Amino acid sequence: MPAIGLALLVWMVPAAARPEQSGRELRSRAADFTYNLDYEPAVALLRQAIAADPNDSANHRALASTIWLEILFRRGAVTVDHYLGSFTRTNVDMKNPPADLDAEFKREVGRAIDLSERRTAAAPRDAQAHFELGTSVGLQATYIASVEGRLLAGFRAARRSYDEQERVLELDPRRKDAGLILGTYRYLVSTLTLPMRLMAYVAGFGGGKDRGLKMIEETAQAGEENRTDAEFALVLLYNRERRYEDAIRVLGDLRRRYPRNRLIVLEAGSTAARAQRAADADRLLTEGLAMFARDTRPKMPGETALWHYKRGIARVMLRRRDDALADLRVALGPDAAGWVQGRAHVELARLALQQGDRSGAAREAAAAVALCEKHGDPLCVADAKGLK
């Protein structure tokens, strides 16, 4: 789920890969760029890794993963808000990905799958081969669902990914890194309606929310290459479970390791607001807005409005009327995403209620309902209707 101020050239252009660098070393360097929101140098390093070892499926998979994250970033769909309402749809309308990135993703993930299939055929009891195959197929399934919006089309790949990771644990029970995909699908199945859950069980998926979370936590603690992916997954799931202090703890670790990623600060402030820690949220979001202003790199669509909407929430809770109004007016700007505008009207309704202006609150709530229904944000609709 891609960071601050490119003041140094080393952040913009990766140093040439040394001949002795392994694919794993190059992937590690690229991951640091990726999770600091520096996609261009990350892609350059991963292309170098592929040129040095074109038959390593992990290199192709890592490049595909970075491209997928860049696509989500360009859409502005990388925050927890997009995935809190439902696992079957995001809270925003999605546009087609750039054709060049879409084509490169499909080429690289296809190559990763092909190489992994060859390796598992040659060595059926090689746990690493099955891990690579399961992870690559899982990435393909995630892309189909999150970028293309075709959930059923990704079902077969998801099932295959799950089966491959179960095979990893059969061959080597110590492989905690297999728990990221297994735990994610187990958690996902536990959130489905009963009929859908039964269908998932028949199809071969396991369930269990607590077991799923535990497996992802063990992946994060194991410290393998997918540790960061596991931690970002935990941030989302802890927020879904209202385990806000756990989410804040993980975000603190991520911020220390990826200090140029301003979006980690945004998530920390957002989570603090959900936890009703308004003063902490205001402090974090003010600090993040300063980082945002200094950062010369590309921004997400509507990112300015998003930051101010988030800080506006905290300032409404703090009853700082004028400061909250200033932020929420920015959140209603023409470049803001529709769901951000809708939710900003919800906060304006709350602000009006604080002032005893019930008619003004009703107008703001009605505006919120209209916008949030239009932009597919069911949580906002429910919140606004509750205020009305």
Instruction: State the DSSP string of 108-169.
Output: HHHHHHHHHHHHHHH-TT-HHHHHHHHHHHHHHHHHHHHTS--TGGGHHHHHHHHHHHHHHH
Contact 246, 282 (CB under 8 A): no
Confidence (pLDDT) at 317: 98
Tell me what pLDDT residue 245 has: 98
In three-state secondary structure terms, 97 is coil
Comparing CA positions, the residue from 172, 237, 241 lying closest to residue 251 is 237
In whole numbers, what is the pLDDT of the chain averaged over residues? Answer: 89
Q: May I ask the CATH class of domain 258-388?
A: mainly alpha
Look up tokens 């179960």; give the residue. 166
pLDDT tens string 55-91: 999 999 999 999 999 999 999 888 888 877 543 344 4
Torsion of CA 206, 211, 213, 215, to 10 degrees: -90
Mean pLDDT across 240-249: 97
Using alpha carbons, select from 106, 59, 112, 80 the residue that is nearest to residue 225.
59
The pLDDT value recorded for residue 4 is: 26
Distance CA 86, CA 197 (A): 15
Assess whether the region 1-79+96-157 and the region 258-388 belong to the same CATH fold: yes
Domain 1-79+96-157 has CATH 1.25.40: yes
Q: What is the pLDDT of residues 136-145, one digit of tens each?
A: 999 999 999 8
pLDDT at 195 over 80: no
pTM attached to this predicted model: 0.89
pLDDT of residue 5: 27
pLDDT of residue 387: 86
User: Which of 176, 56, 179 shows the shortest CA–CA distance to 116?
Assistant: 56
pLDDT at 2 over 70: no
Given this model, what pLDDT does residue 145 score? Answer: 87
Q: Per-residue pLDDT tens for 119-170?
A: 999 999 999 999 999 999 999 999 998 888 776 667 788 999 999 999 999 9
In 10 A of CB 319, how many CB atoms? Answer: 12
Residue spans per domain, the chain: 1-79+96-157, 258-388
pLDDT of residue 52 exceeding 90, the answer is: yes
Mean pLDDT, to the nearest integer, of 344-356?
Answer: 97
- Inform me whether the pLDDT recorded for 303 exceeds 80: yes
Average pLDDT over residues 105-114: 98
Count CA atoms closer than 13 A to 94's CA, side-chain side: 20
Tokens representing 299 are: 């921004």
Looking at residue 202, its pLDDT comes to 66
Q: Report yes or no: 335 and 300 within 8 Å, Cβ to Cβ.
A: no
